[in-house]
């Protein structure tokens, strides 16, 4: 007589973690089981022998199978934390990554007015703009994205978090309302079209339009750097995230365009992943 498979939390998690594999396999399994059962992850450790209903075990197995095939956990859960805020996510946008919090940190350190006007280009989930809004209620923050689904998602996140960020559909600056900004911030596409990472890990399931930017990965950054001065106030700042090996090239774009105080900053892994520059006053620009 065949014995019935165990449906305890511990048995389900052990089996799932073994099949998912990877450094975060146990965490992934716990997050997926928490999603279907409504239990906190601590409950699995406190009561490993707890039985899981058959229908929930089936739901869990469906999620595990998708994760085994490589689907990102954030897409399976439908949400991801960023800057200690809960964000809805979908396959129409990139998943907010911890290192992009460094971009938020750098923006908050800039010498901006209390009533600064800020725009986040290519906002995706709205993570950068909404993180800034949570820290600087006096700033007038807007955001844009080319993709209609991304705009709707960012608007939903702004509503859920009750943060006053306006979101527009626009390809970079093309569809923005008139006005100028004290800070333009962006995490644009910066992966080269032939990069092997596009065929690896979670990136396989994320929208290529949010990742790839020409043969060297810099097409969108070139456009943003070129057009940003027309949208910046005097002494306004441009702050961009980019690839770990692109800092020198991006600094060159900033400097050539006429930005001052150009420098790159490091992410949590110690890589130069952000570059910033200040647009000078007219007199300062002529003096350069």
List, in order of start, the domains of the chain with CATH numbers. Answer: 9-69 (1.10.8), 84-287 (3.40.50.150)
- Tokens standing for residue 53: 């209903």
Closest C-alpha among 147, 141, 113, 110 to residue 128: 141
Pairing assessment for the beta strands 79-82 and 85-88 based on DSSP bridges: antiparallel
Short-list 235, 265, 270, 236, CA closest to 250: 265
CB 229 within 8 A of CB 235: no
Answer yes or no: is pLDDT of 103 > 80: yes
C-alpha R_g of the chain: 22
User: Taking the C-alpha atoms of 202, 207, 211 and 212 in order, what is their torsion angle to the nearest 10 degrees?
Assistant: 120
pLDDT band with cut points at 50, 70 and 90 for residue 200: low
**Polymer length in residues for the chain:** 288
Q: What are 192's two structure tokens?
A: 């080269």
DSSP 146-200: S-HHHHHHHHHHHHHHT---EEEE-STTTTPPS--EEEEEE----B-TT-GGGGS
The b/e string for 22-41 (b: 16+ C-beta within 10 A; e otherwise) is eeebbebbbbbbbbbbebee
pLDDT of residue 234 exceeding 90, the answer is: yes
- 203 vs 178, residue with greater confidence: 178
State the distance between the two ends of the chain, measured CA to CA, in whole angstroms.
86
**How far is 31 from 37, CA to CA, in rounded Å?**
10
Percent of the chain at pLDDT above 70? Answer: 91
List the one residue out of 191, 168, 276, 263 whose CA is nearest residue 228.
Answer: 276
Provide the H-helix boundaries in the chain: 9-20, 25-37, 41-46, 54-68, 73-77, 101-109, 127-135, 148-161, 219-227, 247-257, 282-287
Instruction: Convert the pLDDT of each residue in 156-177 to its tens digit.
Output: 999 999 999 999 999 999 999 8
pLDDT at 81: 92
Stretch 174-182: mean pLDDT: 92
Q: What is the pTM of this model?
A: 0.86
Q: Which residues contact 217 (CB under 8 A, 6 or more apart)?
A: 189, 190, 191, 192, 193, 195, 243, 246
* 7-30: average pLDDT: 92
Beta bridge partners of 117: 140
Name the 3-class secondary structure at 74.
helix
């Amino acid at each position: 007589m065949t014995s019935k498979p165990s449906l305890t939390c511990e048995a389900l998690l052990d089996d799932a973690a073994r099949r998912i594999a990877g450094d975060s396999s146990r965490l992934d399994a716990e997050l997926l089981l928490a999603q279907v059962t409504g239990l906190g992850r601590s409950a699995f450790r406190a009561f490993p022998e707890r039985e899981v209903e058959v229908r929930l075990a089936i739901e869990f197995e469906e999620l595990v199978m998708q994760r085994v095939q490589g689907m990102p956990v954030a897409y399976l859960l439908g949400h991801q934390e960023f800057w200690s805020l809960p964000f809805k996510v979908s396959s129409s946008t990139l998943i907010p990554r911890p290192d992009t919090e460094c971009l938020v940190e750098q923006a908050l350190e800039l010498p901006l007015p209390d009533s600064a006007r800020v725009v986040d280009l290519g906002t995706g989930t709205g993570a950068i703009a909404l993180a800034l809004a949570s820290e600087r209620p006096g700033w007038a923050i807007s955001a844009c994205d080319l993709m209609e689904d991304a705009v709707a998602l960012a608007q939903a996140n702004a509503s859920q978090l009750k943060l006053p960020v306006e979101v527009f559909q626009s390809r970079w600056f093309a569809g923005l309302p008139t006005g100028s900004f004290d800070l333009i911030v962006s995490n644009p596409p910066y992966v080269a079209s032939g990069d092997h990472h596009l065929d690896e890990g979670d990136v396989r399931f994320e929208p290529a339009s949010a990742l790839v930017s020409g043969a060297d990965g810099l097409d969108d950054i070139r456009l943003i750097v070129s057009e940003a001065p027309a949208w910046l106030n005097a002494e306004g700042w441009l702050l961009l995230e980019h690839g770990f090996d692109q800092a020198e090239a991006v600094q060159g774009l900033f400097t050539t365009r006429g930005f001052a105080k150009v420098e790159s900053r490091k992410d949590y892994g110690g890589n130069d992943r952000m570059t910033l520059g200040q647009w000078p006053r007219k007199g300062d620009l002529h003096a350069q």
